[in-house]
Amino acid sequence: MSESTSDLEGQKIVYETDPTTKGRDDKFAQRTKKRFDLGLHNWKMHAIAAYGEFCGTFMFLWCAYVICNVANRAVSVVDNEDRKLNSHPGSIIMIAIGFGWSVMFSIWCFMGVSGGALNPAVSLSLCLARNVTPIRCLVMWISQMVAGMAAGGAASAMTPGPVLFTNGLGLGCSRTRGLFLEMFGTAILCLTVLMTAVEERETNFLAALPIGVSLFIAHMALTGYTGTGVNPARTFGAALAAREFPTYHWIYWIGPLLGAILAWSIWQILQLVNYTWYVAKEHEKCDLPQE
């Protein structure tokens, strides 16, 4: 009998394999156990991850919501129909910096606790990439949504006046355009996560920096048109705080989830062609195999 181990999500489980079957049956059992084991050890890990995701998401969104409220109130838009979604450069830059920096330091704080996804769309990408299990993904989703609601309620209660951090279409943007804008904005964010945090690199510990920059760029590009959701927890928490759910609220769910799948698809193609081997060989200046 031989032994094999797994460290998925930080856990180390020892399994015995039968050499007479070449371990094929046991490998299937191992994969199933790794992804669906509901033992006490796993539940403790899920609880820790849930706590980390809640704290990180709350810290990120509370700071971003308050900054967004200040930015939208600082610019006089009383006569503008899109009073919450104006295209004033100063307001957009302030909002983009607020979200980008807030997610950056929140990830740095909690990436060692739960991974620091802080976004259901990012969690979906990590699940598709088999970086987290489906059960862990569900736990993270619940924590992120609850944190979004708590952050929205806290920001609304602590700041006077109307809630000015909700998402909505502006500048004549249609629902279809808004859906694709949210999809592509989320794809950029999720692909940044996969390429800088999931891929094994010497700079993985700096992943929070490019992730924050990608969210900053997404806000610079999308805020005037959709308010920049790219995170269902962010959109839902704000809408609940304002008690305002537009009929097109669904684009802030479908768009980001499709964006997460698109980002994973791009990343998966690179894995299928084993790009790291070719890049390493190119750096070594070795001959590549002939097609």
Give the tokens for residue 158. Answer: 């602590």
Give the domain extent around 24: 2-29
At 11-29, the pLDDT tens digits run 444 444 444 445 555 655 5
Residues 6+ apart with CB under 8 A from 39: none
Give exposure, 230-267, as e/b (b: 16+ Cβ within 10 Å).
bbbbbbbbbbbbbeeeeebbebbbebbbbbbbbbbeeb
In a domain, 38, yes or no: no
Model confidence pLDDT, tens digit, residues 132-190: 999 999 999 999 999 999 999 999 999 998 999 999 999 999 999 999 999 999 999 99
Task: Give the number of domains in the chain.
Answer: 2
> Do 20 and 87 share a domain, yes or no?
no
pLDDT level of residue 281 (50, 70, 90 thresholds): confident
Whether 8 and 148 share a structural domain? no
Q: Do 239 and 196 fall within a single domain? A: yes
Q: Tell me whether residue 287 is in a domain.
A: no
For position 182, which CATH number holds?
Answer: 1.20.1080.10
Output the pLDDT for position 18.
Answer: 46
Domain match, 96 and 167 both = yes
Taking only the tens place, the pLDDT of each residue in 83-121 is 444 578 889 999 999 999 999 999 999 999 999 999 999
Residues 75 and 197 in one domain: yes
Helices (H) and strands (E) in the chain, counts: 10, 2
Residue 15 lies in a domain: yes
Confidence bin at 275 (pLDDT 50/70/90): confident
Q: Which two tokens stand for residue 214?
A: 């990608």
How far is residue 21's CA from residue 222's CA, in Å, rounded to a whole number? 55
Residue carrying structure tokens 């009383």? 78
Do 131 and 251 belong to one domain? yes
What is the C-alpha to C-alpha distance for residues 169 and 43, in angstroms, rounded to an integer? 40
Report whether pLDDT(9) > 80.
no
Indicate whether 286 belongs to any domain.
no
6 and 113 both lie in a single domain:
no
Report the half-sphere exposure of 12 (CA within 13 A, side-chain side). Answer: 1
Give residues with Cβ within 8 angstroms of 11, minimum separation 6.
Answer: 41, 42, 45
Assess if residue 34 is contained within a domain: no
For residue 290, tell me if it sits in a domain: no
289 inside domain: no
135 and 257 both lie in a single domain: yes
Task: Tell me, yes or no, whether 71 and 167 share the same domain.
Answer: yes
